[in-house]
Amino acid sequence: MNPDETADSEPVKRERSRDGGLQRRVVLVADRDPAVTDELAAVLRERFTVRSAYDSADALASLDPDVSVALLDPSIPGLSAQRVVDRVRTDDADCQVAALADEPLDIGSTAFDDYLVKPVDDDHLTETVEQLSRRATYRTTLEAFYRVARERADASDERRERLDRRLAELDDSLDDIFGSLDGPEAYDAALRELDADP
């Protein structure tokens, strides 16, 4: 497992988003072939902070709330790719997961949010990760909106005014991010797990 890496190898700089959280631009790359992992990571380092993993145990160890996108080979050695996906879905490592596949997948029958067929074109790789990152940001912002809305329900009048301003800011952010998503399928993917939330 490699620590966070950028193209210039300087310390990772994270920008604050409007909801006060860190803007999540960390991508985890984990393929069964270390050369593929390294090639994809090298391309992505131009625009993202990248973590490389060479088996599922490394991938599990690399997951935390900073990771917004995970690119995962379903046949990665170790514990199993499914354990990594399950961790993403149930732990605080909440991100979008794309399969690094050898052939096209029926996403509806998998736990993945998207897939890339290897060998992956550099432009397609970057575009897909950008799209998945926007989906992750949308979901995170939507969760923040719901959290503030719940707080507002029980707040005093003075605090309610402050929370109303906060909700308006988050609503504007949601509109901006939603405008960048690509069609209804992306919207559905951004909300995939929210439907299952209590």
pLDDT of residue 82: 73
Do residue 139 and residue 165 come from a single domain? yes
Do residue 122 and residue 182 come from a single domain? no
Work out how many domains the chain is built from and give that number: 2
Do residue 33 and residue 127 come from a single domain? yes
* DSSP element (H, E) containing 97: strand 96-101
Do residue 80 and residue 90 come from a single domain? yes
Q: What is the mean pLDDT of residues 104-125?
A: 90
Answer whether residue 127 is part of any domain: yes
Do residue 53 and residue 139 come from a single domain? no
Residue percentage of the chain with pLDDT more than 70: 75
Q: What is the mean pLDDT of residues 18-31?
A: 68
Name the pLDDT band for 19 (thresholds 50, 70, 90): very low
What range defines the domain where residue 180 resides? 135-196
pLDDT of residue 196: 43
State which of 105, 133, 161 marks the end of a domain.
133
pLDDT of residue 15: 38
Q: What is the mean pLDDT of residues 126-153?
A: 89
Q: Is residue 47 exposed (0-12), middle (13-18) or buried (19+ Cβ within 10 Å)? A: middle
Q: What is the mean pLDDT of residues 126-131?
A: 93
Q: For residue 118, which of 128, 110, 109 has the smallest C-alpha distance?
A: 128
164-179 pLDDT, tens digit each:
999 999 988 888 877 7
* 100: pLDDT strictly greater than 80: yes
Provide the CATH number for the domain around residue 43.
Answer: 3.40.50.2300
pLDDT of residue 135: 84
Answer whether residue 13 is part of any domain: no
* 141: pLDDT strictly greater than 90: no
Q: What is the mean pLDDT of residues 8-25?
A: 44
Do residue 148 and residue 118 come from a single domain? no
Q: For residue 193, which of 80, 128, 112 has the smallest C-alpha distance?
A: 112
Do residue 129 and residue 43 come from a single domain? yes
Bond into 119 cis (ω within 30):
yes
57-93 pLDDT, tens digit each:
888 889 888 899 999 998 888 767 777 777 777 665 5
State which of 108, 133, 158 marks the end of a domain.
133
Do residue 115 and residue 40 come from a single domain? yes
pLDDT of residue 173: 86
Do residue 78 and residue 173 come from a single domain? no
Do residue 122 and residue 30 come from a single domain? yes
Q: Which residues of 158-169 are buried (b: 16+ CB within 10 A; e: fewer)?
A: eeeeebeebbeb
Name the pLDDT band for 194 (thresholds 50, 70, 90): low
The DSSP secondary-structure symbol of 63 reads -
State which of 102, 133, 164 marks the end of a domain.
133
Q: What is the mean pLDDT of residues 9-22?
A: 40
* 9: pLDDT strictly greater than 50: no
